[in-house]
Amino acid sequence: MSQSSGSQFKDRVLSGMQPTGNLHLGNYLGAMLNWVKMQDTHETLYCVVDLHAITQPVSVWGGPDILRKSIRDVTAAYIAAGINPKKSILFNQSRVHEHAELTWVFNCVARLGWLDRMTQFKEKAGKDKERASVGLYDYPVLMAADILIYHATHVPVGEDQKQHLELCRDIAIKFNNDFGIEFFPITEPVIMGPATRVMSLRDGTKKMSKSDPSDLSRINLTDSPDDIARKIRKAKTDADGLPSEAKGLEGRPEAENLVGIYAALEGISAAEVLKQFGGGQFSSFKTALGDLAVTKLSPITAEMNKLLADQAYIEGVLTDGAARAQAIAAPIMQDVKKIVGFL
């Protein structure tokens, strides 16, 4: 069929982030670090999922001017974190209309019962789900279309996206069964690394998130060194010191989170972190963690700012990326139309 794009790699990766605010340490450690590595082993497509951003209330994504800025900011963050727009196809989702077109077909394949089980919708809609947008409910169907419009085989994400990827597999299987054709691949989630779920700095039971109203809950990729140090200093901890072994972190979500962040940034295990800091007080560990976070994140922030000073470059990357993405998506959408029976 029409999957081939002439890439040297057999497997194709697709992933994306919402331009709903500044990217944070969770996005970076949970997903982007893996995205960068996969550029050398897979054909990679990374998108800024602006269609997803507008599923939330306008107050969350900020309105048209802020959305345009956020799309550029996230594009710059991708490149600054190591996504090479020559190696990877980097684009914003709304420029490739096939994402929305395939979503409609998938809306007619996915079952209400499947969507009713999605925990992210329940969390984001909150108590007043009658007031949530239809788009928020349909979010995982659009995500399945994002992936399958490229016949992507692998999707690197954080732990929170696991359920959505299971739904993507269910949609592919049902489409293939309904039409009696092996057309869509059964995509593999790639959830790897020591920080697949980075938690809020204010509450170790909640994931770090762009839309958390408290800026102290997250480290943004745009934070200054002083902000990073301050947020880590103020991070919630419990009354005990650091344990000497990883099992001493059980039932202590805040301590476990900070140790996990250190491990992920340094590229070592939690046990190795505790070998170094176990038995000590949080205050000295927090200073070391702040220094490490600044060392790792400051070059990304500096590069982002440099890139954002050249808006024509960002625009060029997105235009080129969208054209390359569409060259893959359009023939797959044509095949879908034939399979479904559209004239």
Give the residue from 260, 16, 20, 285 showing the smallest Cα distance to 152: 16
Does position 209 interact with ligand AQP (CB under 6 A)? The reply is yes
Does position 149 interact with ligand AQP (CB under 6 A)? The reply is no
Q: b/e per residue, 268-282, with b = 16+ CB within 10 A?
A: eebeebbeebbeeeb
Does position 17 interact with ligand AQP (CB under 6 A)? The reply is yes
Decide: 175 and 145 in contact? Cβ < 8 Å.
no
Indicate the residue among 159 and 335 with the shorter CB distance to ligand AQP. 159
Indicate the residue among 244 and 269 with the shorter CB distance to ligand AQP. 269
Cross-strand partners of 207:
199
Does position 162 interact with ligand AQP (CB under 6 A)? The reply is no
Does position 18 interact with ligand AQP (CB under 6 A)? The reply is yes
Does position 77 interact with ligand AQP (CB under 6 A)? The reply is no
Indicate the residue among 157 and 322 with the shorter CB distance to ligand AQP. 157
Does position 161 interact with ligand AQP (CB under 6 A)? The reply is yes
**If 0-12 CB within 10 Å is exposed, 13-18 middle and 19+ buried, where does residue 131 land?**
exposed
The alpha-carbon radius of gyration of the chain (Å, integer) is: 21
Rounded CA-CA distance 212/127 in Å is 16
Q: What DSSP element (H or E) covers 250?
A: none
Cross-strand partners of 12:
43
Which of 30, 189, 194, 290: binder of ligand AQP (CB under 6 A)? 30
Which of 13, 80, 198, 228: binder of ligand AQP (CB under 6 A)? 198
Q: In the structure encoding, which two tokens stand for residue 281, read together?
A: 């007080």
Indicate the residue among 209 and 336 with the shorter CB distance to ligand AQP. 209
Of 14-22, 86-94, 275-283, 300-308, the window that binds ligand AQP (rule: CB under 6 A) is: 14-22
Q: Which residues are catalytic?
A: 124, 207, 210
Interface with ligand AQP (CB under 6 A) = 17-18, 20, 26-27, 30-31, 49, 157-158, 160-161, 196-198, 207-211
